[in-house]
Each structure stands twice: as structure tokens, then as C-alpha cells.
Amino acid sequence: MAVGPGTLPEFFPVAGVKLGIASAGIKKPGRKDVVVFELAPGSRVAGIFTRNQFCAAPVTVSRQHLARTAPRYLLVNTGNANAGTGERGMKDAVACCQALADNAGVSADEVLPFSTGVIGEPLPVEKIVGALPEALASTAENRWAEAASGIMTTDTRPKGASCQVDLGGHTVTISGISKGAGMIRPNMATMLGFIATDARIAPEVLQTLASELGEKSFNRITIDGDTSTNDACMLMASGQYGGPEITAGSPELATLREALQQVYLDLAHAIVRDGEGATKFVTIDVSGAASQQEALDVAYTVAHSPLVKTALFASDPNWGRILAAVGRAGVPDLDLNALEIYLGDVCLVRQGGRAEDYSEERGQAVMDQEEITIAIDLKRGDIRETVWTCDFSHDYVTINAEYRT
């Protein structure tokens, strides 16, 4: 199950970024499960990582390497998370970096590792190392679609976004892929996301963009409220577009930010649309909040409510579940007579109870749709935040109950 057509876009190749794909047979024989990104010399990379304190070994190693040098390669494997693996996991992640470095003629510090899959099992280093020559030999700028499939785990379809924009007479290309379908409340980014551009961006601006854009996209999605041990989202800039460096004072920065923001949002929304067992794409829009935190508290309380999520799956306009979730979100001194709750354009709650013009038929018409907006106006201030989620279906339980079998 998934919401919407989910077709991949036409990917625009990013000058200075090549991708290679290979099969290591980590979980399933013959499956393409190793992806390599090769970055041109002079490329810059910024990223954000999980805040889960049981972060996976590749997260720790990537952070360390990123702090030391400019990466030339990214190495991604699926089928094994290399998380909860202790000191051995660290050694295995470094060993994979060293093997790729030896094959490519760079230092191990110039390789960033990323893993996704089952937690708590040793990384099959020999399989991954054995697949590296194939991955490196296959690198090309036009392999984004294959790479999108190569990083999938429980995803039912690959996820990608791509666009081009004019910056001062120079065409800038942005392409990206992401993966994730469950264990998604990133609290930083997504399970895995990789966005590349050929723009030349000052390092401090690149990190600011990676952090701010991730916060408003990947950090505003939730499938089940669980934060993965392996979340990482990387923004790569090859600098090959032929124009000047984009700095904090560049007039082109606003245009670049807008284009990047759309790619980030498309990739984040694609994860929700492909949430495990998802049949609904749900926007939760909280306005009139006194602070960002209380807006997010309300949005996530509604998004994480099993009763709300199961009602969404059943297309049941059981608006009392939404009201109850808002009421337990912890907002102090909430004026129940002032706030309003909407399902699409239908007002559910006004003046502390069911809106006088609400009818079950109007609510049902909205709930029957695949894409639904729940809007909550707290009428306490001018802060607004949006979170995206999905419903809970029978398939979500089945997928996660059978994940290791």
C-alpha cells in the first residue's frame, strides 16, 4: 500500500556526482543493496544525524570523518543497520571505509558510511567489501533512479526528486533520493536521505541549509513516533555549475534555498506516502500557537494518537478522538471556547464542542479522501507549524511483526 502514484521524476544528472550500485546479497541474494556516491574533488558535504543515543556505528564514523576532512565517497548498504553492535560495529564500519578507500585511492577519512536494516546483527563486511569493485566500476552521473531502489528496505517504492533553477544566468541542478517507511519520527532527518547539487556553496551556508531545510521537512514527518538509530540526511555540493560561490550575502541564495526546500519536502512527503501500510497522507496544520513548541506538541500528539490513526484508516469521522488528542497535548491554560478544529474545510469543533454546522455526511466526505488535512487553530498567538503523517492499517502491524522472518 502507498498513497498516490509514487512515480520517480526525470532525474537531472548532477555534474561532479556519480553513483554506483552493486549486489552484496546482504539480506536477499541478487538484490542491489550497496550504493556508492563519488564526489568530484573540491565538493563540500554537510549533514544532520539521528539524536537517538543508541546511534549506529556508521552514524558515529560519518560524524567523525565529516569533522576531519572533505568527503570524496559515500557508502550505503541496506539489509543491516550495524546498530547495537558495540565496538565490533565501529571496527566493521571503519573496515568498509578503508576497503572503499583502498579501491578508490583516497584516505579512509574521505569515506562516509551509511547503513540501514535490521538492528543488532553484525555487519557482513566481507559481502560489502566484495561488492565494492562492481559498485565503483559502475559509477555514472545518470544512475539516480537505480540508487533510489538500491537504498530501500521495507519501502514499497523508490523515492526521488529533481529540479533545475537559474542562478544569475547559470543553471543549477538539484537531485535527491530518500528511503524510509517505518521507524519514522526522525528527530533530525529521515532514515536515509541524499541530496546533491552542482552549485558552489560556502561551507557555513551549506551546513545552515542542511540543518534548516531538514528541520522543516524530514523533521516534520512521522509514521509511528519511533526515531531510528541510523537516521542521516546529507547535502552535497559539487561546485561544478560554473557560477560564483553562494555565500550568506549572495542575492541568489534565496532562489537556491527555495529550490532545495521543494526537493527536501518532496522527499520527506514521499516517505509518509509510502509509510508501512499507509492508505492516507495526512497534513496536520496547527496555527494560532503561542510558541513553536506548543504548536509541535499539539501536532505530534494528534499525529501519534493510535485512535486518530486507526480512525483515519477506517475513514471514520470520529472527531472526538482528535479533540481528545488536542486536549492532552499539554498546552497550558488552553481556551477551549476559542480554539477551532477543522477536517479539510469542515469545522468540527467550535466554542468547546461540535460545530453547529457540522454534519456526519460532510465529515465522511473528507475522510473518504486519500489526502486529508486536520487544521487546528489554537487562537493563542501567531506561530504556525505543519506535520505530515499517515494512518495505521492492519498491514503496519503485519509488516513489523514479520520484519525478521
Q: Binding site residues for substrate, as ranges?
A: 153, 179, 190, 276, 400, 405
Contact 167, 247 (CB under 8 A): no
Residues forming the annotated binding site?
A: 153, 179, 190, 276, 400, 405
Q: How many CB atoms lie within 10 A of CB 217?
A: 27
Residue for grid cell 510558541? 291
The single residue of 50, 85, 190, 227 carrying the catalytic annotation is 190
Contact 263, 176 (CB under 8 A): yes
Q: How many CB atoms lie within 10 A of CB 395?
A: 15
190 is catalytic: yes
| Sign (positive or negative) of CA dihedral 193, 198, 203, 208 | negative
Give the residue among 122, 100, 114, 123 at the shortest CA–CA distance from 38: 100
What is the grid cell recorded at 286?
496547527
Contact 110, 71 (CB under 8 A): yes
- Give the total residue count for the chain: 405
Give the residue among 111, 115, 112 at the shortest CA–CA distance from 153: 115
Residue for grid cell 532527518? 189
End-to-end CA distance of the chain: 20
Q: Give the whole-angstrom CA distance, residue 172 versus residue 169.
A: 9
Give the residue among 133, 137, 113 at the shortest CA–CA distance from 123: 113
CA 121: distance to chain centroid?
24
- If you ran DSSP here, which 8-state letter would residue 184 be given? B
Contact 212, 31 (CB under 8 A): no
Q: Which residues are catalytic?
A: 190
